[in-house]
Amino acid sequence: MSEKKLKFNSKTIHGGQEPDKAYGSVMPPIYQTSTYAQTTPGGHQGYEYSRSANPTRTALEKGLASIENGNYGLAFGSGLAAIDAVIKLLEPGDEVVSTNDLYGGSYRLFKQVFEKYGIVFHFIGMQDLDVIESHINAKTKLLWVETPTNPMMNVIDVRGVAALAKKHDVLLAVDNTFATPYLQLPLDLGADIVMHSATKYLGGHSDVVVGALVVRDKDLADRLYFIQNASGAVCGPMDSFLVLRGIKTLHVRMQRHCENGRAVAEYLAGNPKIEKVYWPGFDSHPNHEIAKSQMSDFGGMISFVPKGSSYEEAIKIVEKLGLFTLAESLGGVESLAGHPASMTHASIPKEEREKSGVVDSLIRLSVGIEDADDLIADLEQAIG
């Protein structure tokens, strides 16, 4: 059966994969090598040096391309390394319009690393397409979208932004870390580049740091492959293997993340000690209709604010949680809780942060795949 015809669950397991040529091993071997023997200069079997290409990384890159309905996948040493490669497509003077409510490390990379090379970033709320369009000018080369956003769970209309990108002939990149291709396929919605912190749901087991890009266009892929090799921020074969293994259970994990996410979100919304719950699955979520039209379910990421919006109360809750581990990161099988203002988003200045709702009392949950009842009992004892 042609691979393009496989449905998503089959692609997670078989997409881009073939038994290894040497012994037919079903999982790709971890080719723990930096270099490859040549019979004569240039006489090799497709691999010459592992920064340029490594067979285990190739297996992952093909798998990534398959699950995102793309043609070319690229794996990097971290999600930020993947973003770094995208921004290196630009020239000094070029402008980027980006979500204002985005992962703090992406913001830091844009502001503190790339601004000094003359790239101009506009951080804006992207719920309104007219507002986005008003920030596009002749120098704009890239629209950077994170949806759902981290940590406010805003949902951005990818089809709408893609139409703007086409109209103005600029690239659209979507950070698909929170949704994963199980829930949302940005390339199908019209994006040019899809990006992942594969550290999160794709790896799925909190044991690896990897980044990914997937594109359809050959010329764009070639420019990114050049940057990947020239800048060298690649992931190693062991890390490639771990993400590839993670992807094989992505669909079953995501199904449970979504079920548990709904149970926890509903519990929080019904708790009188909680002031606000941010989760795109609620009918009352301001972007619920868009979420429904571009996502197949709503995921396991939830943010909430305790009543009175007190910093002390938020810290008390995260310290009392037991089954939810207080930790950076998300998307693993185990449930994690985070305090964005002091952890993941500490690199965004307070005034900037608060403009998008990341107040000091906000708590973010990555709901794992444990029993939902146990997760709710843990929240109950912590919230009191």
Ligand X SMILES: Cc1ncc(COP(=O)(O)O)c(C=O)c1O
CB of 162 to ligand X, least distance (A): 19
CB of 214 to ligand X, least distance (A): 15
How many chain residues touch ligand X (CB under 6 A)? 15
Cα distance between residue 40 and residue 104, in whole Å = 48
CB of 198 to ligand X, least distance (A): 7
CB of 55 to ligand X, least distance (A): 23
Tell me if residue 200 is catalytic: yes
Q: Which residues contact 42 (CB under 8 A, 6 or more apart)?
A: none
Of 184, 174, 178, 196, nearest to 243 (Cα)?
Answer: 196
The residue written with tokens 């209309």 in the block is 157
CB of 368 to ligand X, least distance (A): 16
How many CB atoms neighbour CB 245 within 10 A? 17
Contacting ligand X (CB under 6 A), which of 97, 142, 189, 209?
A: 209
Q: 303-342 mask for ligand X (x: CB under 6 A)?
A: ----------------------------------------
The residue written with tokens 């005034």 in the block is 351
Contacting ligand X (CB under 6 A), which of 64, 65, 74, 80?
A: 80
Tell me if residue 103 is catalytic: yes
Per-residue tokens: 246? 């993670």
List the interface residues with ligand X, window 100-159 (CB under 6 A).
103, 105-106, 146, 150
Q: Residue with CB nearest ligand X?
A: 79
Contact between residue 72 and residue 253 where contact means Cβ atoms under 8 Å apart: no
Tell me if residue 378 is catalytic: no
Contact between residue 120 and residue 271 where contact means Cβ atoms under 8 Å apart: no
Contacting ligand X (CB under 6 A), which of 211, 236, 306, 338?
A: 211
Q: Which is nearer to ligand X, 100 or 197 (CB)?
A: 197
Per-residue tokens: 105? 């490390």
How many CB atoms neighbour CB 282 within 10 A? 17
Beta-strand relationship, 274-278 and 301-306: antiparallel
Per-residue tokens: 328? 């950076």
Cite the active site residues: 51, 103, 175, 200
Residues that bind ligand X in the complex, under the rule CB under 6 A: 78-80, 103, 105-106, 146, 150, 175, 177-178, 197, 199, 209, 211
